[in-house]
Structure 1
Amino acid sequence: MSLNDSLADTNKKAKEVSEKFFHSTYDYYKLKIFQQLTASFGIVFKTIIIGSMLIIGLTFIAIAAAFLIGKALGNYTQGFLIVGGVFLFLSLLAFILRKHMSNFIVRTLSKKFFN
């Protein structure tokens, strides 16, 4: 066997190995992207469903609390103003803590995403 034949044979084997590696790596990343997309969509879907149910429940609780406070005070308007003030206070608190909430969300999602 000549040197040229030996080099051609080695070249052919290296090409086959590299093509096999490329295809297996491509398939791996395709599956990894699919896994990450389904996990992300699952999180978004669950968040939307749970969040909408939570908002509906909190709305009814807030209305009931406003009527209860209004009845106790003898003026329903005051009850609704107090409940509205509580929600404004909670909104202000959330606004002040928004950076901490963002950091918490990023840390939580990054653990799930990069696992």
Structure 2
Amino acid sequence: MAVDIQKLFNEELPAALAKHGDAAKQIGAKYQLNVTGDGGGEWFINVSDSGPSVEKGNPGGADCTMTVASEDFQKLYEDPGKNGMALFFAGKLKVAGNQMLAMKLSKLFELK
């Protein structure tokens, strides 16, 4: 089943961060996630000591910026570990900044 990207970042992830704030802060980074194409958007995800929060847009100051097409985001969300590497090496997941932090993003999707 396809994930509703808007709902995920505008409702589900903020709710999960509110519920699991301490676990989220252990990730310890600020992410900029840009999803291109249908149903995509831009979100700034702060899971550092000053977070946790998710806001729409691109305010700057991210430690790690990831850009992916909406159809590829579906694969990334389903299995971040396996599909994340495959998308990265296929050039479909672009990562700027601290690339090691990209590996930690899967922890964000585990918070429910």
* Pairwise TM-score range, normalised by the shorter structure: under 0.3
TM-score, normalised via structure 1 length: 0.24
The structure that is strand-richer by fraction is: 2
TM-score, normalised via structure 2 length: 0.24
Task: Pick the structure with greater CA Rg.
Answer: 1
The structure that is helix-richer by fraction is: 1
- Which structure ranks higher in relative contact order (CA pairs < 8 Å, sequence separation ≥ 6)? 2
